Amino acid sequence: MKLRKIFPLLTAVALFAAACGGDDQSDLDREMDLALAEDSLAELGDTASAEAEAPVEQPPARPRTQQPGQQQPAPDPGPQYREMTVATGTAIQVTLDQPLSTRTSQVGDLFTTTVASDVRADDGVAIPAGSQIRGRVTAVQKSGQPGQAAVLKIAFDEVTVDGATYPVALTVAEANPTSESRSSTGSKVGKIGIGAAAGAILGQVIGKDTESTLIGAAIGAAAGTAIVLGSSDSDAVLAEGSPMTVTVDAPITVERRV
């Protein structure tokens, strides 16, 4: 661009120098060479500036590829569990969380017991201490006449272990009820268990005929274990916190975290 602008000027200078003589011609040639060199350098500088201002294109990023033989980290499998089974006949020590009484309890009432000590299977603790076993009242008979026993009958439905519930079939083998008199403040404490006579826990160990004779056919037909204690002027009571022993009637399978 600059060369085209100064070329007519240089031409005029050359014509003037030719008219003036030879020495002036040499000086003019040098001046023309210098002007051409300066114009060329200016054009090169403009070109370099334009190239410097142009954006540089970056090559596209190459996707990362897995190297041969390189293994991806295994995903976290999460918590692992294993099954554990409590055998039939195992004794479980529990304490009652709510009081039960022939005076206040009704059929269908729910209650809970707390496992007092660890219950073990062959490969470790299956039911830890502190687990809850839920039960329900299946029959209530108040003593209303001489010779008629006061009866509570209870059954157990499920055990909760580590937040999960599992069905259970249990029988009360031993309990510690009290007999509270309706006419006085006195009470009689009795420890009763399977195999005793009247005033005992009656379950499948004693035949149905005997159970029906002692506590009546309707009570005997209800599911669960009957706790019999009392007379015409007293009520059978299982106090809150009282200990009980229950036995496993069918295997209990639970899942414990490894």
Residue 226 pLDDT: 73
- Kindly give the confidence (pLDDT) of every residue in the chain, 258 residues in length, as a single tens digit, with 9 standing for 90 and above: 544 555 555 555 555 555 555 455 566 666 666 666 566 555 655 565 555 565 667 667 666 666 666 677 778 777 888 999 999 999 999 999 999 988 889 999 999 999 999 999 998 999 999 999 999 999 888 877 666 677 888 999 999 999 999 999 999 998 888 777 766 555 555 554 544 433 344 433 333 444 545 556 556 667 777 776 656 667 778 899 999 999 999 999 999 988
Secondary structure class of 248 (helix, strand, coil):
strand
Whole-structure pTM value: 0.62
- pLDDT at 151 (0 to 100): 81
Predicted local confidence at residue 164, as pLDDT:
96
The whole-number pLDDT of residue 207 equals 34
Do the beta carbons of residue 96 and residue 135 sit within 8 Å? no
pLDDT, residue 125, reads 96
Q: Check residue 128 and give its pLDDT.
A: 97
Predicted pLDDT at 168: 97
C-alpha span between 105 and 86 (Å, rounded):
31
**3-state SS record for 170-212:** EEEEEECCEEEECCCCCEEECCEECCCCCCCEECCCCCHHHHH
> Please, are residues 172 and 227 in contact by the beta-carbon 8 Å criterion?
yes
The pLDDT of residue 210: 46
Alpha-carbon gap, residue 76 to 168, rounded angstroms: 34
Q: What is residue 237's predicted lDDT score, i.e. its pLDDT?
A: 84
